């Protein structure tokens, strides 16, 4: 392939999630319209077509034993029944062989279990679909599992959360390789957001809490979400739910797992994040609109909750790479040491 600058090898196998495979492939091939120079290959353990989770058959080839002369990335998709994947020796052998010569290895969703099985995640930080995070941690205790981020990079190994996170991760890799301008063009072409930063939570504050059984608590949650900036005191929240203050606090702890105040703060953080991601107002404006009152309060809570300042968060959201503007061209295109298990 003329002008090849990077080889992407996507491992396809029976039962793999269809979008885990096709999402990254679409991102990388679309990037080629803007000069990215990716050689995208689909390989399978048998060298034959595979039947994905949705029943759609995908054509794939066999392993080319000749190591590419350009930087290379291996993408390992997931399968709902991850136990079948990790016990498929043909699959794990293929991934192990590919990883031995690759510059970086990435997984989508339950693909992290395959990387773990071949030893690529030992002692590393990693993530996967939030529903599977506890299983990954218990089955492979040497891994430092993070169940919230969209994707996690530890050295040359990058793991991502469920299904559509593979698109976020692929856009991130395009930005690392070819710059933010190309990544933005790809995102626009595919009508998706410029990729969510890896540290962004997999789901919203409301979804991250346990679903309440009682209608009164659901009313309170809706009341807060409708206007995060309102003066939400224990008294006002109790009134919204038709409860006493003591009963409200007790039900929040038993049904939601946090105090009313902690829940209000989490919703306000989410509101502030949305304003920073999509708006151009000052940090002071964002703090006021989200209910924090002052930029000082917003900065304090952001630092505690997200580990970054609001200004840094806004800058990171507009790029998938922290400090992307400082990345040199050599870093974006340079070859790194192969991944070893």
Q: Kindly state the DSSP code that residue 201 receives in the 8-state scheme.
A: B
Determine the Cα–Cα distance for residues 321 and 275; give it in Å rounded to an integer: 20
Cβ proximity of 48 and 60 under 8 Å: yes
Residue-wise pLDDT for 139-192, tens only, equals 999 999 988 788 899 999 999 988 788 998 998 899 889 987 898 888 888 877
- Asked whether the beta carbons of 169 and 160 are under 8 A apart, the reply is yes
CA–CA distance from 129 to each of 155, 229, 288 (Å)? 20, 32, 34
Backbone angles phi, psi at 49, to 5 degrees: -60, 155
Instruction: Give this prediction's pTM.
Output: 0.65
Which residue, chain included where needed, has tokens 């989508």?
108
**pLDDT, tens digit (0-9, with 9 covering 90-100), for 125-144:** 999 998 899 999 999 999 99
**How much is the pLDDT for 305?**
81
| Cβ proximity of 94 and 43 under 8 Å | yes
What are the tokens at 296?
Answer: 């000082």
Closest CA to 37 of 61, 72, 67: 72
DSSP 333: H
pLDDT in tens, 210-232: 556 788 888 898 888 888 899 99
- Residue 163 tokens read as 């299904």
Beta bridge partners of 126: 145
Length of the chain: 341
Beta-bridge partners for 35: none
End-to-end CA, the chain: 30
What gap in Å lies between CA 186 and CA 28, rounded to an integer? 9
Nearest-angstrom CA–CA distance, 112 and 95: 12
Residue with tokens 């794939």: 60
Query: Mean pLDDT per segment of 10 residues, for the chain of length 341 residues?
Result: 81 96 96 95 94 92 70 94 96 96 95 98 94 94 89 93 86 89 86 55 46 80 87 93 92 87 90 81 91 92 83 70 39 46 56
DSSP code string of 102-121: -SEEEE-TTHHHHHHHTTTT
């Amino acid at each position: 392939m003329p002008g090849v600058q990077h080889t992407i090898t996507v491992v396809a196998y029976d039962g793999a999630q269809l979008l885990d495979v096709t999402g990254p492939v679409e991102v990388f091939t679309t990037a080629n319209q803007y000069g990215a120079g990716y050689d995208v290959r689909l390989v399978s353990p048998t060298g034959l077509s595979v039947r994905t989770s949705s029943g759609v058959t995908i054509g794939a080839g066999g392993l080319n034993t000749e190591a590419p002369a350009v930087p290379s990335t291996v993408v390992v998709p997931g399968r709902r029944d991850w136990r079948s994947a990790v016990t498929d020796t043909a699959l794990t052998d293929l991934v192990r062989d590919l990883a031995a010569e690759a510059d970086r290895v990435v997984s989508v969703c339950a693909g992290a279990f395959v990387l773990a099985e071949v030893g690529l995640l030992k002692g590393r930080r990693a993530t996967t679909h939030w529903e599977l995070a506890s299983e990954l941690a218990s089955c492979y205790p040497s891994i430092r599992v993070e169940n919230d981020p969209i994707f996690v990079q530890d050295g040359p190994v990058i793991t991502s959360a469920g299904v559509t996170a593979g698109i976020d991760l692929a856009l991130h890799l395009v930005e690392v390789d070819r710059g933010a301008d190309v990544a933005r063009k790809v995102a626009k072409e595919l009508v998706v957001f410029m990729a969510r930063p890896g540290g962004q939570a997999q789901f919203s504050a409301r979804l991250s809490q346990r679903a309440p059984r009682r209608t009164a608590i659901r009313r309170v949650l809706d009341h807060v979400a409708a206007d995060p900036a309102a003066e939400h005191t224990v008294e006002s929240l109790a009134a919204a739910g038709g409860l006493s203050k003591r009963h409200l606090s007790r039900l929040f702890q038993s049904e939601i797992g946090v105090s009313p105040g902690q829940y209000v703060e989490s919703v306000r953080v989410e509101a502030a994040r949305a304003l920073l991601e999509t708006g151009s107002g000052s940090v002071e404006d964002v703090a006021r609109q989200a209910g924090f009152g002052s930029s000082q309060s917003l900065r304090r809570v952001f630092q505690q909750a997200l580990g970054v300042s609001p200004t840094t968060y806004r800058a990171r959201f507009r790029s998938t790479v922290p400090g992307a503007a400082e990345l040199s061209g050599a870093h974006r295109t340079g070859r790194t040491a192969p991944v070893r298990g």
